[in-house]
A and B are shown apart, each in its own frame.
Chain A
Amino acid sequence: MATVTMTVNGEKRTASVPPETTLLKLLREELNLTGAKLGCDVGDCGACTVIVDGKSVNSCLMLAGQADGRDILTIEGLATVEHLHPIQQLFEEKGSLQCGFCGPGVIMSAKALLDENPDPSDYEIRDALAGNLCRCTGYTKMIEAIQAVAQAKNNPAARKSA
């Protein structure tokens, strides 16, 4: 068994799992954080995207042991009791998610993008989402929402009309 201690959404967690357990499985089955999804299990679809030490990764391609000591942010860690995260808020507002299965992964990719690049171009947004397959939306309303988040952040006055 591999004993893994890590910070998950701001709190310390420890779990002992077989060494071949992926970070995705650990999050979903040991910590009951089922927001990250298993869509392909080989890093093609991005439904399992979480943020590790500030970088978005496919949690299906990371062993639990590799997450030891790291700082993990999952979709469950974005909102607070009072507020949706602005990305979640605008995804809802713009109708960016349909079946929703890719949603948590897409939103984590968007979060990682905006943390590094607060004013991304259309191409940069598309590039940041290229690892997240979506079959419902054509990505259109996701891109619109991410643009709107950036706009609101950079120009709070424009927020109302967004």
Chain B
Amino acid sequence: MKRRGRGIACMWYPIGFTVAANPSAAVVKVNEDGTATLLTGTVETGQGSLTVLAQIVAQELGIATDDVHVVSADTDTTPMDTGAIASRTTYVTGNASRLAAEKAKAILFEVAAPLLGVKPSQLEVADHKVQVLGFPQRSLHIGDVSEHAKSVNGQPPIGSASFNPATVALDPETGQGKPFATYVYATQIAEVDVDDETGEVEVLRIVASHDCGTPINPMLVEGQVEGGISMGVGFALEEEILFTPDGRQINPNLTNYIMPTSLDMPKIEVDIVDSYDPTGPFGAKGVGEPTCVSTAAAILNAIHDAVGVRVTTLPATAERVYAAIKAKRAQEAKLITAG
């Protein structure tokens, strides 16, 4: 018979390296047509980080995402970056990119201030314009300011900056210190059906409520969460590299290494928790890794809820779940006989 269960699991996860310096640098150029170019040494590995960085630079310059072209991942042409690791790109490279854009913007303000008859500190950017605070009708198109900066002032608006998360080394004896600049938090709840005659687990639904600070791009955040959950489902139920006693892999191929297909994935519902980190770019933290952290725990707790067995070894294959159910029944039978 199929038995239904639900399980909850929450988690915390840090952004960036453990204490170790993991800086990012960035260069932002504001072009004469009001678009911008970002140079970053990070690598697009599928997360959409280049789009997120474009959005951060665009926000800082008051232009649209499409106006920012990102040049990335070339040690000859792009500045130093610790890379696509440790869920750090939005926070660390994002901060560096925002700071670089801010510096380019400062040049724009310096150039625009006399043209608008105010001090640079009285300017802001919005909707492709440099405008006077409180008097948005007094404005110049950002492209015109950039052109002026280049051809009149002789000062092309280019900014470069770097960022490294603030940490404090850990005491070697007690491990006390500040290993990370910030953390994200999340909860996932899984609903499963467990076939108590075979041990087969079907994950029906996962509700995921994730903190990433400000979601720079909610669609990409959802994409990360959904993908992380698929990795979590595999970790919970299916995936394992197996070895012979003499240390060779038994299943090094996708026929025998079992990862989730579309038929194995549950319905996923993603919520983004309202949150703002003042140390992140526009309040953002990050989202890459944390998405797969609590899935297995939630599923295993749901299995426990459904059939009352605690599987303590991953993956919780049907055979492991079945063995646990069988052992529990044998135990109960013994108690009844004894009683």
Contacts and interface: CB of A to CB of B under 8 A. Distances in A.
B270 to A, nearest CB: 9
A45 interface: yes
Contacts of B45: 99
Contacts of A45: 254
Contacts of A98: 46-48, 223, 227
Nearest to B261: A130
A136 B261 contact: no
B255 A42 contact: yes
Given A40-B254, A45-B254, A127 B263 contact: yes
Contacts of B237: none
Contacts of B47: 98
Contacts of A95: 48, 219-220, 222-223
A138 B254 contact: no
Given A40-B254, A44-B254, A99-B46, A133 B226 contact: no
Interface stretch (A49-57, A139-147, A153-161): A139-147
Contacts of B228: 138
A130 B229 CA distance: 17
Contacts of A143: 262
Nearest to A44: B254
A126 interface: yes
Nearest to A140: B226
A137 interface: yes
Interface string A113-147: 00000000000011101111111111111110000
B64 interface: no
Contacts of A42: 253-255
Interface string B205-234: 000000000000001101100111111000
Contacts of A132: 262
Interface centre among B47, B260, B262 (most CB of A within 10 A): B262
Contacts of B46: 98-100, 136
Interface centre among B46, B47, B255, B261 (most CB of A within 10 A): B261
B268 interface: yes
A126 B263 contact: yes
Nearest to B220: A95
Interface of A: 40, 42, 44-45, 94-95, 98-100, 125-127, 129-143
